[in-house]
C-alpha cells in the first residue's frame, strides 16, 4: 500500500494541499488533513461545487457534523460509489479514506490533455525562449541614467546603433580548375586582395555585408535548385546548356523590349542624346556581334553629333581665353557677340548635320536599291548565258543530223539501261538500310521512353527527398521541443521506480497465479484420490459385507466379527465427518480472525471513545444553549 | 537554448570549411591560428590587412587561406546570429568532416567570443528612443480670445528621452482625459509584456 500512498500524497501536493514531509502514508492523515485534501480535490474537479465548502474543520461539534455531511454529499455528487457519511471524515478509517482519495485523484483533470493542445514545433520553443528573455529583463530593476553599471548597458542604456548598411565585398570563389584567362585574377587574389575582414573600414557594415553576401548566395542556390527541379530536369539538358540557353533567351527578350521602347520616339531622342547613347551601348552589349542594325546606325549618328557639339564647346572655351586681358565691358560685349555667332554657327552646323543625315539616309536607301537591281540584272544575265550555250551546241550538231541522232539514241538507251541497273542495285541496298533505319528508330524511341521513365523516377525521387527532409526537420523540431519539455518537467516523481514497481507487481501476480493453479491442480488431484478411495472402500466394504454375512449365518464367531465390521465402518464414517467439520470450523476461525483484524484496523475503540467525547461535548453545547435560552 | 535546428550554409562556405577541416592543408597549429584569427578579425574594430600574416599560416596557399578565412568568418557570424548551441555547431561541423578534436577547439573559442559578437550584432539596427524621466505641470485654462470662460485644467508634460546616447526632451500638453488615456495605454503595454513573459 505504500506506493499507492506516495502516489496519492504526490497528487494531493500537486493539487495544492499542504502535506507535511513526515506524513508518508494515509494512515497518518488527521481529520483536518483529510477534510483539507478532499475539499481541495473537489474544488479542482468541480469549482462550482467546491466553492461552497469550508477548507478547515470548525471547532464546534455540531458544525463539524454539518461539514462532514456536506462533504459526503459533495463526494457522492462527484461520483463516489462507496459508503460515505460524516463518520468517514470525523472518525476516519484507513481503507475508506484511501478508496475515497483514490477515487478523487482519478477524477482530477489531466494536465496532459492541456499540453497536447499546445502548438508544436519550432515556434513554441522560440516563444518560450522569448518569454524567458522578457522575464529576465523584467526582473532587472530600473536604474536612473547615472547609476547604471556596465551590467545594465545591454538592456537599459542604449548605446550607439549602427545602421544596416551593406557594401559589396570582393571574394575569391572556389573555381573548378583555374583556366588561363584567370591567371591575372589569381595573381591579384594571391598578392593584392586583402582578407575579407580588412576590406571595409567600418566594423558593423563588415558584419552586415558578410551576412548579406551569405544569404544572397544561399537564396540564389535555392532559387536555382527550385528552377532546375521544376523546369530544368524536364528539358533534358545538362545544367550548363540549360543556363546558356536561358541566358540567350533572356538577352533576346531584353533586346526586344528595349527595341520596342526605343522605336516609337526616334526624333525625340535627339533632345537627350546622352541617354539614348547609353541605351545603345547597352544594346551593343546584348547584341554582341550583330553589327548592321537600325538602332546601331542611329547610335552612331547620335554619338557623332554629340562628339561634334563637345568639340565645338571646347573650341569656344579655348578661343575665349586670350580675351581675358581686355576690359570687362568689352569682354562681355565680345563674348556675347561671339556667343551669338557661335550659336548661329552651331545651329547652322546642326541643320547641316540634319540635312546631311537625311541625305545620307536617302543615299543609303538608293544605294541599296541600286545594289538590289544590280543583283537582279546579274542573275538574269547568267541565266541568259546558259540558254545561249545550249542553243550554240545544238546548232553545232545540226549538220550531221542522222548520225548524231543515232548516237544520241544509243546514248539514251545506254543511260536507261544504266538507270535500270542502278535502280535494281539501289533496291538491293535499300532493303537492309531501311531495316537498319527502322531498327535504329526503334532503339531511339525505346531510349526516349526509358529516359522519360527515368526522368519521372528522378522527379518522384526528388519529391520523396523533399518530403523526407521536411519530415526529418519536423521530427527534429519535435524532438528538440520534447527534450526541452523533458528538462522542464519536475523531477520529484521517479517514473522509473513506478514502472519498476508495476513490473514487480505484475510478476508477483503472475507467480501467485501460477501458485494458485498449482494448488488448484493439487486440490483436484486430492479430490480425485479421495473419490477413488471412497469408491474402493465402498466396494471392498460391500464385498466383505456380503462374504462375512454369508458366513455369519453358519458360524457364531463370524457373526460377531460381522458386527465388529459394521461398527468399524460406522466409526470410520463418523471420524471422517468429524475431520471435515474440523476443517470448516478452522476456516471459520480464520475468517473471524480476519474480521477481527479489519475491525481493529478501523480504530473502533478509539473512534467509539471519540464519539463518546463528541457526544458529551454536544450535550454540553446543548445544555449551554438551553441555559442561554432559559436566561433569555 | 537554441531553437534553430540547422544552419544553412552556402556552397562556398561549405567548401571553405571543408578545406579547413582537411588536415593536409591545415595542420593542428594552423587550424588553431586560423580560428583565432577569424574571431579576432571579426572583433577588432579596424580591419587589419596583415591579419593573416601568421607564422603558422605561412605554408598555406594564400588564395585558399583567404577563402577559408572568409568561410570561417561567415560561419561564425551565422552561428552567433542563430545563437547556436553546442549540439548545433558540432552537428554542422561534423557534416563538414571536422574531427572531434577540431570541433572542440572551435567550440571553445566560439564560447569565449560569443557574447561579445552577439553584442556587436545586436548593435546593428534601429531603436526607438527610451523615456528616462517625466516632469509635468498642472495648468488651468481660464479664458481665451474666443471664449470668456473655459475653466479647464490641462497638463504640460515633458518626457526626457534618450536615443543612441543623446538625450532629447519631448514636450506636449494634454487634457485630463488624454493623460488618463495615456496612462491606461502604458499600463496595458506593461501588462502585455508581462503576459508575454509567462508562456
Query: B67: closest CA among A182, A186, A220, A207?
Result: A186
Shortest CA distance from A175: residue in chain B: B12
State the residue range of the domain holding B91.
Answer: 11-122
| Cβ proximity of B37 and B52 under 8 Å | yes
| Cβ proximity of A56 and A67 under 8 Å | no
Total domains in chain B come to 2
What confidence tier does B157 reach under pLDDT thresholds 50, 70, 90? Answer: very high
The predicted pLDDT at position A388 comes to: 94
B85, B164: one domain: no
Who has greater pLDDT, A279 or A330? A330
Spell out the residues 6+ positions from residue A527 whose beta carbon is closer than 8 angstroms to its own: none
B66 vs A196: CB contact, 8 Å cut-off? yes
Who has greater pLDDT, A306 or B73? B73
| Cβ proximity of A269 and A302 under 8 Å | yes
With respect to residue B185, please indicate whether it lies within any of the assigned structural domains: no
* A158: chain B residues, CB-CB within 8 Å: 127, 130, 162-165
Q: What is the CA radius of gyration of chain B?
A: 28
Out of A135, A164, A208, the one facing B197 most closely (by C-beta) is A135
Who has greater pLDDT, A218 or A271? A218
For residue A276, is pLDDT > 60?
Answer: no
Map out the domains of chain A as residue ranges.
Answer: 2-114, 125-159, 265-388, 400-488, 495-601
For residues A541-566, average pLDDT: 84
The predicted pLDDT at position A285 comes to: 59
In chain A, the percentage of residues whose pLDDT exceeds 70 is: 81
CATH number given to A2-114: 1.10.418
For residues A607-621, average pLDDT: 87
For residue A320, is pLDDT > 80?
Answer: no
The predicted pLDDT at position A181 comes to: 45
- For chain B, strand residue ranges (E) read 130-141, 152-163, 166-175
Secondary structure string (H, E, C) spanning B124-162: ECCCCCEEEEEEEEEEEECCCCCCCCCCEEEEEEEEEEE
Angle, alpha carbons A332-A338-A342 (nearest 5°): 145
State ipTM.
Answer: 0.80
B22, B112: one domain: yes
- In this structure, of A92-96, A413-417, A564-568, the range with the lowest mean pLDDT score is A92-96
* B1: chain A residues, CB-CB within 8 Å: 125, 128-129, 132, 484
B41 vs A203: CB contact, 8 Å cut-off? no
Out of A127, A198, A217, the one facing B199 most closely (by C-beta) is A127
| Cβ proximity of B134 and B158 under 8 Å | yes
- Rounded to whole angstroms, the Cα distance separating A299 from A277 reads 6
For residue A10, is pLDDT > 60?
Answer: yes
Q: How many CB atoms within 10 Å of residue B98?
A: 22
- Rounded to whole angstroms, the Cα distance separating A532 from A544 reads 18
Angstroms from A609 CA to nearest CA on chain B: 53
Shortest CA distance from A197: residue in chain B: B47
With respect to residue B194, please indicate whether it lies within any of the assigned structural domains: no
Shortest CA distance from A215: residue in chain B: B10
B69 vs A186: CB contact, 8 Å cut-off? no
Out of B13, B70, B123, the one facing A162 most closely (by C-beta) is B123
For residue A264, is pLDDT > 90?
Answer: no
B54, B103: one domain: yes
* Cell triple for A85: 457519511
User: Is B177 an 8 Å CB contact of chain A?
Assistant: no
What confidence tier does A155 reach under pLDDT thresholds 50, 70, 90? Answer: low
Angstroms from A242 CA to nearest CA on chain B: 20
B88, B172: one domain: no
For residues A75-94, average pLDDT: 79
For residue A134, is pLDDT > 80?
Answer: yes
User: How far, in whole angstroms, is CA A366 from its chain's centroid?
Assistant: 72
What confidence tier does A183 reach under pLDDT thresholds 50, 70, 90? Answer: low
What confidence tier does A17 reach under pLDDT thresholds 50, 70, 90? Answer: confident
For residue A110, is pLDDT > 70?
Answer: no
B60, B24: one domain: yes
* B80: chain A residues, CB-CB within 8 Å: none
The predicted pLDDT at position A238 comes to: 77
For residue A111, is pLDDT > 70?
Answer: no
The predicted pLDDT at position A282 comes to: 60
The predicted pLDDT at position A549 comes to: 83
B43, B109: one domain: yes
The predicted pLDDT at position A158 comes to: 54
With respect to residue B181, please indicate whether it lies within any of the assigned structural domains: no
Angstroms from A156 CA to nearest CA on chain B: 9
The predicted pLDDT at position A457 comes to: 93
Out of B3, B62, B198, the one facing A125 most closely (by C-beta) is B3
| Cβ proximity of B15 and A174 under 8 Å | yes
Query: What are the residues facing A102 on neighbouring strands?
Result: none
The predicted pLDDT at position A75 comes to: 85
| Cβ proximity of A38 and A46 under 8 Å | no
Distances from the Cα of A496 to the Cαs of A172, A177, A237, A504, in angstroms?
Answer: 57, 60, 60, 12
The predicted pLDDT at position A316 comes to: 47
Instruction: Give the three-state DSSP class for B167.
Output: strand
For residue A119, is pLDDT > 60?
Answer: no
Who has greater pLDDT, A113 or A627? A627
* Cell triple for B179: 493623460
Q: What is the DSSP letter of A156?
A: T
- pLDDT digit string, tens, across residues B94-120: 888 888 888 999 999 999 998 888 888
| Cβ proximity of B76 and B13 under 8 Å | no
User: Is B195 an 8 Å CB contact of chain A?
Assistant: no
Query: B82: closest CA among B124, B118, B111?
Result: B118
With respect to residue B34, please indicate whether it lies within any of the assigned structural domains: yes
Shortest CA distance from A163: residue in chain B: B125
Would you tell me which residues 105-134 of chain B have a C-beta closer than 8 angstroms to some C-beta of chain A? 119-127, 130, 132-133
Shortest CA distance from B52: residue in chain A: A195
For residues A376-391, average pLDDT: 94
* Cell triple for A457: 523516377
The predicted pLDDT at position A507 comes to: 95
User: How far, in whole angstroms, is CA A208 from its chain's centroid?
Assistant: 29
The predicted pLDDT at position B118 comes to: 86
The predicted pLDDT at position A131 comes to: 87
A200 vs B47: CB contact, 8 Å cut-off? yes
B90, B49: one domain: yes
Spell out the residues 6+ positions from residue B161 whose beta carbon is closer than 8 angstroms to its own: B129, B130, B131, B132, B167, B168, B169, B170
For residues A413-431, average pLDDT: 94
A193 vs B6: CB contact, 8 Å cut-off? no
For residue A290, is pLDDT > 50?
Answer: no
Who has greater pLDDT, B125 or A444? A444
In chain B, the percentage of residues whose pLDDT exceeds 90 is: 19
Q: Which long-range contacts (CB under 8 A, 24 or more apart) does A581-590 make?
A: none
User: Is B53 an 8 Å CB contact of chain A?
Assistant: no
The predicted pLDDT at position A231 comes to: 75
The predicted pLDDT at position B3 comes to: 42
Average pLDDT score over chain A:
80
Spell out the residues 6+ positions from residue A576 whose beta carbon is closer than 8 angstroms to its own: none
Instruction: Give the three-state DSSP class for A162.
Output: strand
Who has greater pLDDT, B106 or A126? B106
Who has greater pLDDT, A94 or A447? A447
Interface test with B, best of A154, A207, A218, A487 (most B CBs within 10 A): A207
Shortest CA distance from B9: residue in chain A: A218
* Cell triple for A188: 591579384
Tell me how many residue pairs between chain A and chain B have CB atoms under 8 A apart.
158
- pLDDT digit string, tens, across residues B18-34: 888 888 888 888 888 88
B55, B78: one domain: yes
For residue A177, is pLDDT > 60?
Answer: no
Shortest CA distance from A178: residue in chain B: B63
Shortest CA distance from A196: residue in chain B: B70
For residue A481, is pLDDT > 80?
Answer: yes
B26, B42: one domain: yes
B155, B72: one domain: no
Who has greater pLDDT, A284 or B193? B193
- Beta strand B152-163 with B130-141 is antiparallel
- pLDDT digit string, tens, across residues B75-87: 999 999 888 888 8
The predicted pLDDT at position A356 comes to: 94
With respect to residue B188, please indicate whether it lies within any of the assigned structural domains: no
Task: Give the relative orientation of helices B62-81 and B28-43 as an angle to the nearest 10 degrees.
Answer: 60
- pLDDT digit string, tens, across residues B168-186: 889 999 998 999 999 999 9
Q: How many residues does chain B have?
A: 199
Q: What is the DSSP letter of A239?
A: H
B153, B84: one domain: no
Angle, alpha carbons A312-A313-A314 (nearest 5°): 95
User: Is B78 an 8 Å CB contact of chain A?
Assistant: yes
For residues A48-75, average pLDDT: 79
With respect to residue B169, please indicate whether it lies within any of the assigned structural domains: yes
Distances from the Cα of A494 to the Cαs of A18, A106, A283, A498, A499, in angstroms?
Answer: 21, 19, 78, 7, 9
Q: How many CB atoms within 10 Å of residue A259?
A: 14
With respect to residue B27, please indicate whether it lies within any of the assigned structural domains: yes
What confidence tier does B42 reach under pLDDT thresholds 50, 70, 90? Answer: confident
- pLDDT digit string, tens, across residues A590-612: 999 999 888 877 677 778 888 88
* Cell triple for A242: 540549360
In chain A, the percentage of residues whose pLDDT exceeds 90 is: 29
Angstroms from A154 CA to nearest CA on chain B: 8
φ/ψ region of A174 (left if φ > 0, alpha if ψ in -120 to 50, else beta) reads: beta
With respect to residue B84, please indicate whether it lies within any of the assigned structural domains: yes
For residues A229-253, average pLDDT: 81
pTM assigned to the model: 0.49
Spell out the residues 6+ positions from residue A395 whose beta carbon is closer than 8 angstroms to its own: none
For residues A120-143, average pLDDT: 78
The predicted pLDDT at position A348 comes to: 93
For residue A380, is pLDDT > 90?
Answer: yes
- In this structure, of A226-240, A330-344, A437-451, the range with the lowest mean pLDDT score is A226-240
B15, B99: one domain: yes
| Cβ proximity of B118 and B80 under 8 Å | yes
Amino acid at each position: 500500500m505504500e506506493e499507492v500512498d506516495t502516489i496519492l500524497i504526490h497528487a494531493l501536493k500537486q493539487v495544492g494541499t499542504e502535506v507535511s514531509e513526515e506524513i508518508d502514508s494515509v494512515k497518518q492523515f488527521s481529520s483536518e488533513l483529510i477534510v483539507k485534501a478532499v475539499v481541495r480535490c473537489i474544488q479542482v474537479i468541480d469549482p462550482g461545487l467546491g466553492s461552497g465548502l469550508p477548507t478547515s474543520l470548525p471547532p464546534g461539534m455540531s458544525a463539524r457534523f454539518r461539514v462532514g455531511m456536506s462533504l459526503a454529499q459533495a463526494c457522492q455528487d462527484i461520483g463516489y460509489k462507496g459508503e460515505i457519511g460524516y463518520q468517514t471524515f470525523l472518525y476516519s478509517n484507513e481503507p475508506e479514506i484511501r478508496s475515497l482519495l483514490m477515487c478523487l485523484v482519478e477524477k482530477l483533470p489531466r494536465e496532459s490533455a492541456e499540453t497536447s493542445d499546445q502548438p508544436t514545433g519550432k515556434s513554441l520553443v522560440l516563444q518560450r525562449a522569448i518569454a524567458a528573455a522578457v522575464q529576465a529583463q523584467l526582473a532587472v530593476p530600473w536604474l536612473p541614467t547615472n547609476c547604471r553599471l556596465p551590467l545594465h548597458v545591454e538592456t537599459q542604456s542604449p548605446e550607439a546603433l549602427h545602421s544596416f548598411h551593406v557594401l559589396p565585398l570582393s571574394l575569391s570563389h572556389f573555381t573548378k580548375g583555374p583556366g588561363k584567362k584567370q591567371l591575372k585574377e589569381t595573381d591579384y587574389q594571391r598578392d593584392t586582395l586583402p582578407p575579407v575582414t580588412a576590406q571595409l573600414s567600418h566594423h558593423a557594415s563588415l558584419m552586415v555585408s558578410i551576412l548579406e553576401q551569405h544569404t544572397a548566395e544561399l537564396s540564389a542556390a535555392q532559387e536555382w535548385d527550385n528552377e532546375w527541379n521544376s523546369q530544368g530536369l524536364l528539358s533534358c539538358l545538362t545544367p550548363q546548356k540549360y543556363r546558356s540557353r536561358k541566358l540567350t533567351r533572356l538577352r533576346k527578350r531584353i533586346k526586344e523590349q528595349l527595341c520596342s521602347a526605343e522605336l516609337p520616339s526616334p526624333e525625340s531622342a535627339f533632345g537627350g542624346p546622352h541617354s539614348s547613347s547609353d541605351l545603345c551601348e547597352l544594346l551593343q552589349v546584348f547584341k554582341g556581334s550583330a553589327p548592321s542594325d537600325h538602332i546601331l546606325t542611329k547610335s552612331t549618328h547620335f554619338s557623332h553629333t554629340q562628339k561634334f557639339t563637345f568639340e565645338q564647346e571646347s573650341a569656344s572655351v579655348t578661343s575665349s581665353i586670350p580675351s581675358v586681358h581686355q576690359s570687362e565691358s568689352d569682354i562681355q560685349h565680345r563674348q556675347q557677340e561671339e556667343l551669338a555667332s557661335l550659336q548661329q554657327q552651331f545651329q547652322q552646323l546642326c541643320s547641316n548635320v540634319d540635312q546631311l543625315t537625311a541625305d545620307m539616309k536617302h543615299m543609303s536607301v538608293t544605294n541599296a536599291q541600286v545594289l538590289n537591281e544590280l543583283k537582279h540584272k546579274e542573275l538574269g544575265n547568267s541565266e541568259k548565258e546558259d540558254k545561249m550555250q545550249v542553243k550554240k551546241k545544238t546548232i553545232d550538231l545540226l549538220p550531221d543530223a542522222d548520225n548524231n541522232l543515232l548516237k544520241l539514241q544509243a546514248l539514251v538507251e545506254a543511260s536507261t539501261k544504266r538507270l535500270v541497273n542502278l535502280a535494281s542495285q539501289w533496291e538491293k541496298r535499300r532493303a537492309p538500310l531501311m531495316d537498319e533505319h527502322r531498327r535504329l528508330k526503334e532503339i531511339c524511341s525505346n531510349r526516349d521512353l526509358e529516359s522519360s521513365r527515368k526522368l519521372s523516377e528522378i522527379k518522384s525521387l526528388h519529391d520523396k527527398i523533399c518530403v523526407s527532409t521536411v519530415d526529418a526537420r519536423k521530427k527534429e523540431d519535435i524532438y528538440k521541443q520534447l527534450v526541452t519539455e523533458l528538462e522542464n518537467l519536475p523531477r520529484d516523481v521517479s517514473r522509473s521506480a513506478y514502472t519498476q514497481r508495476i513490473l514487480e507487481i505484475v510478476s508477483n501476480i503472475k507467480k501467485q497465479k501460477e501458485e494458485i493453479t498449482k494448488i488448484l491442480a493439487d486440490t483436484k488431484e486430492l479430490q480425485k484420490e479421495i473419490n477413488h478411495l471412497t469408491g474402493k472402500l465402498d466396494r471392498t466394504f460391500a464385498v466383505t459385507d456380503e462374504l462375512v454375512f454369508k458366513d455369519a449365518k453358519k458360524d457364531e464367531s463370524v457373526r460377531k466379527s460381522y458386527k465388529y465390521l459394521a461398527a468399524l465402518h460406522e466409526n470410520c464414517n463418523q471420524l471422517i465427518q468429524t475431520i471435515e467439520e474440523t476443517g470448516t470450523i478452522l476456516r471459520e476461525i480464520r475468517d473471524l480472525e480476519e474480521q477481527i483484524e479489519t475491525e481493529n484496523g478501523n480504530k473502533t475503540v478509539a473512534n467509539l471513545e471519540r464519539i463518546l467525547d463528541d457526544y458529551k461535548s454536544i450535550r454540553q453545547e446543548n445544555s449551554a444553549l438551553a441555559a442561554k435560552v432559559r436566561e433569555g | 537554448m537554441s531553437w534553430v535546428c540547422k544552419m544553412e550554409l552556402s556552397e562556398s562556405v561549405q567548401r571553405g570549411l571543408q578545406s579547413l577541416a582537411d588536415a593536409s592543408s591545415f595542420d593542428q597549429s594552423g587550424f588553431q591560428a586560423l580560428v583565432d584569427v577569424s574571431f579576432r578579425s571579426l572583433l577588432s574594430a579596424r580591419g587589419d590587412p596583415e591579419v593573416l600574416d601568421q607564422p603558422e599560416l605561412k605554408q598555406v596557399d594564400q588564395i585558399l587561406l583567404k577563402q577559408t578565412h572568409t568561410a570561417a568568418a561567415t560561419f561564425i557570424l551565422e552561428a552567433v546570429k542563430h545563437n547556436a548551441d553546442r549540439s548545433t555547431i558540432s552537428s554542422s561541423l561534423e557534416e563538414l568532416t571536422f574531427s572531434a578534436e577540431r570541433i572542440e577547439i572551435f567550440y571553445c573559442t566560439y564560447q569565449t567570443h560569443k557574447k561579445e559578437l552577439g553584442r556587436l550584432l545586436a548593435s546593428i539596427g534601429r531603436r526607438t528612443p527610451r523615456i528616462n524621466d517625466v516632469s509635468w505641470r498642472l495648468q488651468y485654462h481660464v479664458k481665451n480670445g474666443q471664449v470668456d470662460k473655459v475653466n479647464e485644467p490641462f497638463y504640460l508634460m515633458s518626457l526626457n528621452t534618450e536615443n543612441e546616447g543623446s538625450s532629447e526632451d519631448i514636450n506636449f500638453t494634454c487634457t485630463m482625459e488624454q493623460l488618463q488615456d495615456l496612462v491606461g495605454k502604458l499600463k496595458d503595454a506593461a501588462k502585455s509584456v508581462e503576459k508575454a513573459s509567462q508562456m
